[in-house]
Amino acid sequence: MQSIAGREAIIEAARRARAALLPLSRLPAEAKNAALVSVARRMGESSEAILAANAEDLERARPLVEAGEMAESLYRRLKLDDAKLKDIVSGILQVASLEDPVGKVTLATELDEGLRLYRVSCPIGVIGVIFESRPDALTQIASLALKSGNAVLLKGGREAACSNRVLFDIFREASASAGAPQGALALLESREDVEAMLKAESYVDLIIPRGSNALVRYIQQNTAIPVLGHAEGICHIYVDEAADIEKALDITLDSKAQYPSACNSVETLLVHRGIAPAFLPRVLGSLKERGVVARCDGRAFDEFGVTGVERATREDWRTEYCDMIVAIRVVDSIRNAIDHINEFGSHHTDAIITEDEAAFDLFFAGVDSAGVFLNASTRFADGYRYGFGAEVGISTGKLHPRGPVGLDGLMTYKYKLVGEGQTVGLYSGPNARKFSHKKIEL
């Protein structure tokens, strides 16, 4: 049982992580995959130890739940069982089966004879990930990091300390004995460790916080290191005039009630006034049946005779409920819906329900979000569902990476220029050589 603590220890861990980058970047794809397969096997063989450690966490957590200091849902996410362990193992194997993202050439140009430029994908470097109580997040993140050639400093939730330590030890030992460099993976254990990491901008390239809005905002405001993530997930569904009402009902209920605390669940429903008379009574009935509280704007009451629900205020448009509540607003046009989403949303994921392709084209061009969906639940915004194998987080920033962040999102690139002694002087002045800028076919 190893851990690191104290500011100097964290700097030292980050330094070792940085030193691991070069050997890590030179591991061939087969070696990384073999290491992941070996980790998965060891995880499978260690179910007893993992469940025992998890039982310790659960034992400490149970009184908190009973005292009302921990949500029952958090407790359920903390709890591992045979099915979840199977998912952990298959998750690691799935990452092993993905294409190697390192060293991909994404642009190749002959600048001149014997002078060739390539843009080559490479890992970002040392990444600090702060994640919530689910212990399976640890293996997901560590797998993606190893596969993408990034070194990673992990800090899990305090509630899951024992589970995380066991999972971490197994991951590190199994991957190291399969050839992965020492130091590429470190476990932080306290809030002080996190503080030290946030200050280590010379050693850490990126911070990915996964957790409450408050945590993400705190981190954004307390580090000079780039932060990837999202403080809020205020997702919308716009029910267009040309919507299929059955699809609109199914998708609304799924987006809200299937898992209301997820960041990709819907918070506000925008309803075109043309479809409101037909749609509003039905959706309010269905929501009520599923136990969802609806908060409607004034127009729904005044123009469409809605009764028996709460009244929404302007505050509601900016609120991420993470709960069985949905705000509803009637809009005059698709342009109004787009404007509402861009003003009040969080650039996460927004869906339009329509049978009119031109309406979707306009919605897609106008909505400034990482995910813009047609006739599908906002809950599909997820690395696993997108086919990325897993995700380390979801980014609502505008620069790369955006949306669910899988392997591709953990990569950056370098420009490789291969010459034979060329100088810029040759390409300037009266007898300047000309650049050819010919695309090299890959």
401 touching its own copies, by CB under 8 A: yes
Which residues, including other chains, have CB under 8 Å from residue 321's CB and lie 6 or more apart? 260, 267
First to last CA, the chain: 48
Burial class, 410, CB count within 10 angstroms (exposed 0-12 / middle 13-18 / buried 19+): buried
Minimal distance, residue 210 CB to its own copies, in Å = 18
CB closer to its own copies, 21 vs 58? 21
Minimal distance, residue 78 CB to its own copies, in Å = 20
Structure tokens at 300: 């729904």
28 touching its own copies, by CB under 8 A: no
In terms of DSSP bridges, do strands 325-331 and 293-296 run parallel, antiparallel, or are they unpaired?
parallel
Strands (E), 235-285: 235-239, 266-272
414 touching its own copies, by CB under 8 A: yes
Q: Which of 1, 67, 424, 442 binds its own copies (CB under 8 A)?
A: 424
Minimal distance, residue 48 CB to its own copies, in Å = 27
One-letter amino acid at 287 equals L
- Kindly give the interhelix angle for 136-148 and 82-97, rounded to the nearest 10 degrees: 10
Nearest of 328, 332, 327 to residue 274 by alpha carbon: 332
Q: Are 407 and 148 in contact (CB under 8 A)?
A: yes
**DSSP secondary structure letter of residue 387:** T
CB closer to its own copies, 207 vs 328? 207
301 touching its own copies, by CB under 8 A: no
Q: Which of 37, 111, 215, 324 binds its own copies (CB under 8 A)?
A: 111
In this structure, the number of other CB atoms found within 10 A of the CB of residue 79 comes to 18
435 touching its own copies, by CB under 8 A: yes
Helix, strand, or coil here: 156? coil
86 touching its own copies, by CB under 8 A: no
Minimal distance, residue 45 CB to its own copies, in Å = 27
The maximal CA–CA distance of the chain, rounded, in angstroms, is: 83
Considering only residues 176 to 215 of the shown chain, the ones binding its own copies according to CB under 8 A are 205-206
Contacts 24+ apart (CB under 8 A), 30-34: 31/178, 31/179, 31/180, 32/96, 32/100, 32/146, 32/147, 32/149, 32/180, 33/96, 33/97, 33/147, 34/178, 34/179
- Kindly give the interhelix angle for 82-97 and 29-45, rounded to the nearest 10 degrees: 170
CB closer to its own copies, 49 vs 426? 426
Minimal distance, residue 57 CB to its own copies, in Å = 25
333 touching its own copies, by CB under 8 A: no
365 touching its own copies, by CB under 8 A: yes
CA distance 366 to 435: 39
How many chain residues bind its own copies (CB under 8 A)? Answer: 75
419 touching its own copies, by CB under 8 A: yes
CA distance 386 to 335: 28
CB closer to its own copies, 76 vs 437? 437
Q: Which of 7, 11, 15, 25 binds its own copies (CB under 8 A)?
A: 25
60 touching its own copies, by CB under 8 A: no
Considering only residues 249 to 288 of the shown chain, the ones binding its own copies according to CB under 8 A are 250-251, 253-255, 258-259
322 touching its own copies, by CB under 8 A: no
Q: Is 127 left (phi over 0), alpha (psi -120 to 50) or beta?
A: beta
Minimal distance, residue 349 CB to its own copies, in Å = 8
CA distance 237 to 252: 7
218 touching its own copies, by CB under 8 A: no
105 touching its own copies, by CB under 8 A: no
Q: Which of 190, 213, 422, 433 binds its own copies (CB under 8 A)?
A: 422
Minimal distance, residue 248 CB to its own copies, in Å = 9
Minimal distance, residue 297 CB to its own copies, in Å = 22
109 touching its own copies, by CB under 8 A: yes
Of 3-11, 81-89, 246-254, 268-276: span binding its own copies (CB under 8 A): 246-254
377 touching its own copies, by CB under 8 A: yes
Of 20-28, 272-280, 304-312, 314-322: span binding its own copies (CB under 8 A): 20-28
Minimal distance, residue 224 CB to its own copies, in Å = 9
CB closer to its own copies, 301 vs 364? 364
